[in-house]
Every structure is written in C-alpha cells, then in structure tokens.
Chains A and B, each alone.
Chain A
Amino acid sequence: NAGVTQTPKFQVLKTGQSMTLQCAQDMNHNSMYWYRQDPGMGLRLIYYSASEGTTDKGEVPNGYNVSRLNKREFSLRLESAAPSQTSVYFCASSEEVSGWVVGGYTFGSGTRLTVV
C-alpha cells in the first residue's frame, strides 16, 4: 500500500542512549516532516525537509538531528535521549507546487518512544 512507513513502532531507551527513527514514503512527495505529539500539546514540528538535500528546524529541534537520505527517506536521530523526549513521533510527507500545497499530509502510523 502506498504511504509513509515508520520504524520502529515502539521503543524504550535508557537516558543517554541514541537511536534513529526511520521514515520512508513511496508517493514521490517533495516534502517530509517529523512531528512529536504529547498529551494536551497537539503536534509540534521538529524538523522538515522541503526537498532532497535540504533540512530546516521546526518549533522544537533541540536534541534531534535529521538526514534526508534521498527523496524517499527522512530519518530522525536522538543522540543522547532524555526523559523529556518521551513522546509519540510522526513522520509525514506532502507535495507542493510553486509554493502551493497539493492535498494534505500523509502521516505514518507513529513511533511510541519511552525514555527511562
């Protein structure tokens, strides 16, 4: 099925450990995003990539790094996990043409991360 695939679905880390969340889309979208969702906070943008080879910070980038490996893949890395990074992480992709969005985001099913 076409869409956005995230791995892993669940992860438990100890404080200070590192990990990479993987995301891949097969819709040939230009833009990809990483959001985190916390209770009562809605979704907050961590990083985004408007095209292959470019990345930009969102609202809450501290403690994270990203890599746009190619047009399909956009990974999120936690170098030294902290309890404050316990959250549900969503990857999404979208298409824009000349600055106008074409349709909405397609979201992955999420990664539930717990840092102890």
Chain B
Amino acid sequence: SQQGEEDPQALSIQEGENATMNCSYKTSINNLQWYRQNSGRGLVHLILIRSNEREKHSGRLRVTLDTSKKSSSLLITASRAADTASYFCATGNAGGTSYGKLTFGQGTILTVHP
C-alpha cells in the first residue's frame, strides 16, 4: 500500500512559472522526503523535512509540512526545462524499528516547456 499520494499526477507548465506538487499521507511520520527521477534514471534526493519542522528551503525548492493535515507541498520556483522529471514524496514512519525505511508515493510527472 502507498503511504504518500501525490497530486496532481501530471503537471505541464512554461519555463519561468512556478510548479507546486502536493503529497498526502495517512500515518504518523518522523520525516518526509522529496525525490526527483529523470527518465530512465535513478532517484535523486532533493530535500528532507522532519516532523517537527514546518518549512525548508533549498535553492529554488521550498517544502512545507503540515502534520495536522498529514500533507506536504513541494514548490519549484522559476522552473526550467531541466526540471522536467518525475517527483516523488516519501515518508518515514514514526515509532518502531522502521529507522530509515521509506514508503514512496506514485509521483507527479512535471513537464516544463521551453
């Protein structure tokens, strides 16, 4: 079963626009992460936000986390054609001995047109 569910499934924008992707999850987490996957490649870690954090920034990326709503969003500002990829959220469950084990969502396909 999938813990994280991304929305929208696909997003198409023009270069220079902002892209926002959302992720909802069901159970308590200790961290939430976002990954990018270019076609035919492995996943690349973008950003990690812990359950006691509300917002993090990394370059053109901004991630928010609302644990009361069990949701997160990834904002990419001033998008570029090179940002075209699939984006996945992944959650690390709280408690037990799960440690670093992550559950991934199905991803959002982002297409940025030049």
Contacts and interface: CB of A to CB of B under 8 A. Distances in A.
A107 B44 contact: yes
Interface stretch (A12-20, A63-71, A72-80, A98-106): A98-106
27 contacts: A4-B42, A31-B100, A33-B102, A35-B104, A42-B2, A42-B88, A42-B105, A42-B107, A43-B43, A43-B104, A45-B101, A45-B103, A50-B97, A50-B99, A50-B100, A58-B101, A90-B42, A90-B43, A95-B100, A99-B99, A101-B31, A103-B45, A105-B100, A106-B45, A107-B42, A107-B44, A109-B41
DSSP majority for the A interface? strand
Contacts of B97: 50
Place the interface of chain A in its size category: 20 to 34
A104 B35 contact: yes
Interface of A: 4, 31, 33, 35, 40-45, 48, 50, 58-59, 90, 92, 94-96, 99-101, 103-110
B1 interface: yes
A109 B44 CA distance: 10
A38 B57 CA distance: 31
B105 A48 contact: no
Interface of B: 1-2, 30-31, 33, 35, 41-46, 48, 88, 90, 92, 97, 99-107
Nearest to B104: A43
A31 B46 CA distance: 19
Contact of B106 (A42, A58, A90): A42
A27 to B, nearest CB: 12
B36 to A, nearest CB: 11
A21 B44 CA distance: 21
A42 B104 contact: yes
